[in-house]
Chain A
Amino acid sequence: MDMYKLPSKLRLFALIFMVVGAGAMIYGFMDAPSTIEEVKELEAKSHDAHGGGHGDDHAVADAHGDDHADDAHGGDEHYEHVLHQMQNRPWSALYIASFFFFMIALGTLAFYAIQHASQAGWSPVLFRVMEGITAYLPWASAIILILLALSVAHVNHIFHWMDPDLVKPDSGKYDKLIAGKSGWLNTTGFMIRAVIYLLGYNAYRYISAKWSLKQDDATDNRWFKKNFKLAAGFLVFFIYTESMMSWDWIMSFDPHWFSTLFGWYVFAGMMVSAITVIAMITIYLKSQGYLEFVNDSHIHDLAKFMFAFSIFWTYLWFSQFMLIWYANIPEEVTYFVTRIEDYKLPFFGMLAMNFIFPLLILMNSDYKRVNWFVIMAGIVILAGHYIDVFNMVMPGTVGTSWFIGWPEIGSVLFFLGLFVFIVFTALSKKPLLAKGSPFMKESKHFHY
Chain B
Amino acid sequence: MGSTKVIHAIYNDDDILMNAVKAVRKEHYHIEEVYTPFPVHGLDKAMGLEDTRLAICSFMYGCVGLAVAITMMNYIMIEDWPQNIGGKPSFSYLENMPAFVPIMFEMTVFFAAHLMVITFYMRSKLWPFKKAENPDVRTTDDHFLMAIDAGHHDVDQVSQFLSDTGAIEISLHDKEDDH
A interface, CB within 8 angstroms of B:
318, 321-322, 325-328, 363-365, 447
A321: chain B residues at CB < 8 Å are: 98
Contact of B86 among A328, A364, A447 (CB under 8 A): A328
A-B contact pairs, 14 of them (CB 8 A): A321-B98, A322-B99, A322-B101, A322-B102, A325-B98, A326-B88, A326-B98, A326-B99, A327-B86, A328-B86, A328-B88, A363-B59, A364-B55, A447-B42
Cβ-defined contact, A322 with B86, below 8 A: no
B98: chain A residues at CB < 8 Å are: 318, 321-322, 325-326
Per the bound structure, the CA–CA distance linking A112 and B42 in Å amounts to 28
B55: chain A residues at CB < 8 Å are: 364-365
Q: Is the interface of A mostly helix, strand, loop or mixed?
A: helix
Cβ-defined contact, A318 with B86, below 8 A: no
**Nearest-CB residue, chain B, relative to A363:** B59
A447: chain B residues at CB < 8 Å are: 42
A325: chain B residues at CB < 8 Å are: 98
Per the bound structure, the CA–CA distance linking A322 and B87 in Å amounts to 15
Per the bound structure, the CA–CA distance linking A328 and B89 in Å amounts to 13
Cβ-defined contact, B87 with A328, below 8 A: yes
- In order of increasing CB-CB distance, the 7 nearest A-B pairs are A322-B98, A325-B98, A326-B86, A318-B101, A328-B86, A326-B99, A328-B87
**Nearest-CB residue, chain A, relative to B42:** A447
A326: chain B residues at CB < 8 Å are: 86, 88, 98-99
Instruction: Say how far B14's CB is from chain A's closest CB, in angstroms.
Output: 16
B interface, CB within 8 angstroms of A:
42, 55, 59, 86-88, 98-99, 101-102
**Nearest-CB residue, chain A, relative to B62:** A363
Per the bound structure, the CA–CA distance linking A23 and B137 in Å amounts to 76
Per the bound structure, the CA–CA distance linking A327 and B86 in Å amounts to 7
Per the bound structure, the CA–CA distance linking A318 and B99 in Å amounts to 10
Q: Is the interface of B mostly helix, strand, loop or mixed?
A: helix
**Nearest-CB residue, chain A, relative to B86:** A326
Extra contacts, 11 of them, besides A318-B98, A322-B102 (Cβ < 8 A), are A318-B101, A321-B98, A322-B98, A325-B98, A326-B86, A326-B88, A326-B99, A327-B86, A328-B86, A364-B55, A365-B55
Per the bound structure, the CA–CA distance linking A447 and B41 in Å amounts to 10
A322: chain B residues at CB < 8 Å are: 98-99, 101-102
Instruction: Say how far B121's CB is from chain A's closest CB, in angstroms.
Output: 23
**Nearest-CB residue, chain B, relative to A365:** B55
Per the bound structure, the CA–CA distance linking A189 and B42 in Å amounts to 56
Per the bound structure, the CA–CA distance linking A325 and B96 in Å amounts to 10
A363: chain B residues at CB < 8 Å are: 59
Instruction: Say how far B86's CB is from chain A's closest CB, in angstroms.
Output: 6
B99: chain A residues at CB < 8 Å are: 322, 326
Instruction: Say how far B96's CB is from chain A's closest CB, in angstroms.
Output: 10
**Nearest-CB residue, chain B, relative to A447:** B42
Per the bound structure, the CA–CA distance linking A326 and B96 in Å amounts to 9
B59: chain A residues at CB < 8 Å are: 363
**Nearest-CB residue, chain B, relative to A366:** B51
B102: chain A residues at CB < 8 Å are: 322
Instruction: Say how far B6's CB is from chain A's closest CB, in angstroms.
Output: 31
Per the bound structure, the CA–CA distance linking A149 and B87 in Å amounts to 44
**Nearest-CB residue, chain B, relative to A321:** B98
Instruction: Say how far A339's CB is from chain B's closest CB, in angstroms.
Output: 14
B86: chain A residues at CB < 8 Å are: 326-328
A318: chain B residues at CB < 8 Å are: 98, 101
Per the bound structure, the CA–CA distance linking A148 and B98 in Å amounts to 36
Per the bound structure, the CA–CA distance linking A329 and B102 in Å amounts to 21
B101: chain A residues at CB < 8 Å are: 318, 322
Per the bound structure, the CA–CA distance linking A347 and B170 in Å amounts to 67
Per the bound structure, the CA–CA distance linking A427 and B65 in Å amounts to 47
Per the bound structure, the CA–CA distance linking A230 and B88 in Å amounts to 51
Per the bound structure, the CA–CA distance linking A365 and B55 in Å amounts to 9
Instruction: Say how far B61's CB is from chain A's closest CB, in angstroms.
Output: 14
Per the bound structure, the CA–CA distance linking A416 and B32 in Å amounts to 56
Per the bound structure, the CA–CA distance linking A322 and B86 in Å amounts to 12
Instruction: Say how far B83's CB is from chain A's closest CB, in angstroms.
Output: 14
The interface centre, meaning the residue of B55, B59, B98 with most chain A CB atoms within 10 A of its CB, is B98
A328: chain B residues at CB < 8 Å are: 86-88
A327: chain B residues at CB < 8 Å are: 86
Per the bound structure, the CA–CA distance linking A321 and B102 in Å amounts to 13
